[in-house]
Homo-oligomer: A and B are copies of this chain.
Amino acid sequence: MAKSSTRSITLPRGFQAAGTTCGIKPSGKPDMALILAEHPCAAAAVFTKNRLPGAPVIAGKRHLRNGRAQAIVINAGIANDATGQEGIDNALTTCKLVTQELAGRGIHIQPRDVVPSSTGVIGPHLPMDKIARGVSQLAKKLARGPKPDDDAARGIMTTDLTPKSANASVKLGSATVRLGGIAKGSGMIAPNMATMLVFITTDAAISPAMLKLALRQATAVSFNRISVDQHTSPSDTVAILASGLAGNRAITRPGNALDIFTEKLTQLCNNLAYQIVKDGEGATRVFHVAVTGARTEREADRVAKAVVDSPLVKTAVHGGDPNWGRIVTAAGYSGAPISPQKLSLTIGRTRPQSVCVFDKGVPRPLTPAQERRLKAAMKQKEVYFNLDLGRGNAAVNWLGCDLSREYIRINADYTT
């Protein structure tokens, strides 16, 4: 995993970043970030499927309709969600403030090339005086390097304990294409197209349509297959800017180059998705749910999601308790048309450490040695479940985290 000193969003050519503290958070911690490209970029995003999207999501969708953007401005502490027309006006004003501040520094960009994003408490309006001050500070601090990347990663955190960032690079022909990303969790995490906030930069030359295609594919198998607490946030956004400065032959249609780029983007997204689950509110263990032998990926997804969301599975993982009946019965109520007689469950990463506890509908009698291996597998920081449905060849991998008293503490008194 990337350390906080690793370069992320300014590693690709053509990007600057900054983070600051504008005073929205009562704690006085960093609460704003800005990502700026030198030139207008190909841009794409996937947003929450919550029917009550936040004002920045509504504004951001509008701004990205032309597949182009040059800056992303983010605040933490207040989500600007459930705030009506006034909230949308505030999001648009934030974009204008960015263009005005940059113009004062000789950088001229269009308000509609700014993507706004917010995360935090739902309901209150943004304090626009603080936002204005924050934008001004961000414009002054824009730079490249590990420090501004880390500042930006910290500026978008809410209940996250650690900043989250990653980078990757890949050869396209003779050109090296770089990617960088920052992300924030760590509550209201449930997959529904996009989950939480993730901002990715790349210097790949790629058309907006192909960028969107790559992002959708990468998101579907990474951020959409994690869950901390099944509550799909109204702010969820994964946005990507592509500066085109890498010197690769522009990707304008499906084919080998798009596949390579998508694969690398998927790796980056999986890296960030893992960091989000690992830092899930109150989490002490990550568990990996592999569902195999499904007829379709959709069917496998239903089973994996039911397992990953079950409070009884999550508390068993927390207690390091091999209460496998909770896993198979979560599969049972997932809505997928499984047959008990074909269902098997193996716990543990790989043979010979792993133990099959439920074999085609029948519990396996375990030897004392297997009992010990099973207990050991449940006590790891990373716990592995493999549910085989015995119905077909589709398979998916999901990530979840345990449910602890700390989750209750964090969430029983968040607004007041």
Binding site for B on A (CB under 8 A): 49-53, 79, 81-84, 86, 121-124, 187-188, 190, 192, 229-234, 309-312, 315-316, 318-319, 321-326, 328-334, 336-340, 343, 357-358, 361-363, 403-405, 407-409, 411-416
Contacts and interface: CB of A to CB of B under 8 A. Distances in A.
B233 A329 contact: yes
Nearest to A414: B323
B310 A230 contact: yes
Contacts of A79: 325
7 contacts: A52-B338, A84-B362, A86-B362, A124-B363, A233-B329, A319-B412, A403-B408
Q: Give the dominant DSSP class at A's interface.
A: loop
Contacts of A192: 333
A69 B325 CA distance: 30
A10 to B, nearest CB: 33
A231 B362 contact: no
Contacts of A414: 316, 319, 321, 323
A408 B321 CA distance: 12
A322 B329 CA distance: 34
B315 A411 contact: yes
Contacts of A415: 321-323
A312 B408 contact: no
A337 B51 contact: yes
Contacts of A310: 229-231
Nearest to A49: B333
Contacts of A334: 51
Contacts of A363: 82-84, 123-124
Contacts of A231: 310-312, 326, 329-330, 333
Copy total for this chain: 2
A234 B362 CA distance: 15
A325 B120 CA distance: 10
B234 A316 contact: no
B82 A318 contact: no
A234 B332 contact: yes
A190 B79 CA distance: 31
Contacts of A315: 407-408, 411-412
Contact of A312 (B411, B413, B416): B411
B407 A123 contact: no
Nearest to A51: B332
Contact of A405 (B124, B229, B328, B405): B405
Contact of A338 (B51, B84, B122, B123): B51
Nearest to A52: B332
Given A329-B231, A332-B50, A318 B187 contact: no
A321 B81 contact: no
A340 B52 contact: yes
Contacts of A330: 231
Nearest to A323: B415
A187 to B, nearest CB: 7
A389 to B, nearest CB: 11
A329 B50 contact: yes
A122 B328 contact: yes
Nearest to A341: B84
B412 A321 contact: yes
A371 to B, nearest CB: 11
Shortest Cβ-Cβ A-B pairs, 9 listed: A122-B325, A319-B412, A52-B332, A315-B411, A232-B333, A84-B362, A50-B332, A405-B405, A319-B413
A309 B361 CA distance: 29
Given A82-B363, A405-B405, A329 B52 contact: yes
